[in-house]
Amino acid sequence: MFNPSETARLSSVVALAGRRVDAPGASDIRFPSRNAAMVEGKLRECLQKGVRVLVCSAACGSDLLALGVARELGIRRRVVLPFARAIFREKSVVDRPGDWGERYDRALDEVEEQHDLVILGPSKSDADAFAATNEAIIQEALEIAQHEGTFAQALVVWNGQSRGSTDHTAQFLDQARGKGMPVLEVQTLTS
């Protein structure tokens, strides 16, 4: 659960993963688009507490909101994609209503210009690709933190409940904890 006083623990490098906004008519509500501004505000509170680098992917919802906030705050952004920009855009960005495609294009153009775009390449399945992306986000954050002489922390943006063995956000949370990273959670369903 989000606690503003805990954001003081965030420092330097943040590895982030979280929910995409829900598809129209979703039966399980995890991140309704009407909560995007609320989540963006919580992310701003977290990221303005001494964070210098944000490492994440660029899916619609948590990722793109965090990338936008980081841009506003002048935080370096490193983006990890499981496959080519156009393929990821189709699979994880523009399949939900909103201006996510425009946000994605702008963010990716900017990080690519800064040489901070990592594309992992093809894999056997989407599930493998997204799991590999989680691992790469955590590894990138740990390596950057080591290079900068600081530490990495995970920020998980979600509804607080795993949807089972295929839940990549829950897997990210487990992986970060397994690496000994401090973890802060931002809720997508509560104010």
Beta bridge partners of 16: 155
* Residue range 47-88, pLDDT digits in tens: 998 899 999 999 999 999 999 999 999 999 999 999 999 999
**Above 90 in pLDDT, residue 121?**
no
The tokens for 40 are 């963006």
Could you give the percent of the chain with pLDDT greater than 90? 86
The architecture of the domain spanning 4-187 is 3-Layer(aba) Sandwich (3.40)
pLDDT at 166 over 60: yes
Show the CA angle centred on residue 153, arms to residues 109 and 3, nearest 5°.
105
Ordered by start, the domain boundaries in the chain are 4-187
Residue 1 reports pLDDT greater than 70: no
In one letter, which amino acid is 103? Answer: R
pLDDT of residue 10: 52
